[in-house]
Each structure stands twice: as C-alpha cells, then as structure tokens.
Amino acid sequence: MMANEHDKFNLLQEESNSVETGNTTRSNVPRMSQLVPTSTLRLLCGLSSLCVVLLILNIIVTFTKSNSECPNGANTEMASLPVCPPFPCPEKWFEFTGHCYYITNTLKSWDGAKTTCEKMNSHLIMINSLEEQEFAVEFAVQKTTWIGLSDADGEWKWVDKTPLDWNQTYWREGQPDDWTGHGKGGGEDCAQIAYDQKWNDEQCNKPYQFICEKEQRNWRK
C-alpha cells in the first residue's frame, strides 16, 4: 500500500472508530436520542400508536354508518330509529301502529271475507287493543263489518286460532247470544262490529264489508 493510501486508510479507520466510541468531531453530532429525551420519544411513539388505533376506529365507524342506510335509501339516523323504518303500506292500505289495514266495499260472507284477506297475504282484522278497536270502528264508518273472530269450532277464536281474551272484548250488552230466532238453522258463529260500534255475533253467511290486516313489512322479515 502507498504511503498516502496508508494514511487515508488510517484516517478512515480512526473516523470509523471514533463514530463507535463517539470521541471525534463526527461523534459529536447529536443523535435523535440526545436531541429528544427518551421519555418524549416514548410519548411520541405512544401517541402514534393511539393515532393508528383512532384511524382504525374511524374506518370501522364509517363502514358501519354506510351499512346503516336502509335498502330504500332511508337512513336510521334520519329516522331516529335503531333499525330501518318499515316499508310503507301498499296502495289503498292504511297504516296504523305497525300494521296495514284494508277495507273493502265488496260485501262477502265471513268465509268469503276471510279468503279474500288471505289472498292479499293478510287476515281478517284481529282486534288486540282498545286502540285497535277504536281504529276499526272509525275505519268501518258506521257500517256493519266482519272481524276475524268466530266460534264455529265451539270456542271464540281469532283467525290465527288464538283464543279470545275475555278481558279485552267489546261485545254489545247481551252478546254473543248465538241467536237462533232467524229460523235458518244453527245460531250465530261469526263476529262483527255492528252499527252501534259494538261486537255482535251474526250468521256467518250474511254479506258484510270487512277489514283485512297485516303486519307492516320490515327489512328483516
């Protein structure tokens, strides 16, 4: 090795050692750990981790929000509901407390009325509360109207086979009387809202208007 080259080599060697030992001019260049205290570095690292976590959470929340939009474009936030608002009732059906109601001017026997409702994926109205009774009375507009209650099997039951709750009935006084005075055989096995807005049992084959009911369709059904 030439002398100059030897000197250069030694110089580089010294510089290299000095970097390791921190004893030369270069070693005096402060490192990051010297510029910023370790505790601060740890704090910064901690904050960075927190930022990453917050970023991930933000992505999850954004994704969840986009999923809260309902199929019909309605939004759970707009509707202030925890779930999507139900579908609107079909045309000519009236919405009331989560159910849809339809009244027809076509007069039918109780069985005919029952079948007609079923063909529309509904059932003859089952009156389960005072509110529903009052609604049905108003909906019937003072015309005698079949409801989905019958004792043709010997016991008063709704069309879904639920036994009648006798603590919640709206019979006219003296009804049901299973009146046989009409002389047409048998008594009276089908219930209706009569002219006086009270329930009466009547011959099932007589034609009256009727109310169909169905649950308002929900997104999860």
Binding site for Ca ion (CB under 5 A): 126, 128, 175, 177, 179, 188, 200-201
Q: Which is nearer to Ca ion, 68 or 187 (CB)?
A: 187
What letter does residue 183 receive in the DSSP assignment? -
Closest separation between CB of residue 126 and Ca ion, Å?
4
Q: Which residue's CB is nearer to Ca ion, number 175 or number 209?
A: 175
Q: Return the number of the residue (143 or 198) whose C-beta is nearest Ca ion.
A: 198
Give the nearest distance from C-beta 174 to Ca ion in angstroms: 8
When the beta carbons of 145 and 201 are compared against Ca ion, the nearer one is 201
Question: How long is the chain?
Answer: 221
3-state helix, strand, coil in the chain (%, to 5): 35, 20, 45
- Smallest distance, Å, CB 91 to Ca ion? 21
Give the list of residues 6+ apart from residue 24 with CB closer than 8 angstroms, or none. Answer: 14, 15, 18
Nearer to Ca ion, 68 or 206 (CB): 206
Of 66, 216, 102, 197, the closest CA to residue 143 belongs to 197
Omega before 176 within 30 of 0, i.e. cis:
yes
CB atoms within 10 A of CB 172: 16
E-only strand ranges, 38-124: 94-96, 99-108, 123-124
Q: Where are the beta strands (DSSP E) in the chain?
A: 94-96, 99-108, 123-124, 145-150, 157-158, 190-193, 199-202, 208-215
Shortest distance in whole angstroms from residue 142 CB to Ca ion:
18
Question: Least distance from C-beta 148 to Ca ion, angstroms?
Answer: 8
Q: How far is the CB of 130 from Ca ion (least distance, A)?
A: 12
Looking at beta carbons only, is 70 or 199 nearer to Ca ion? Answer: 199
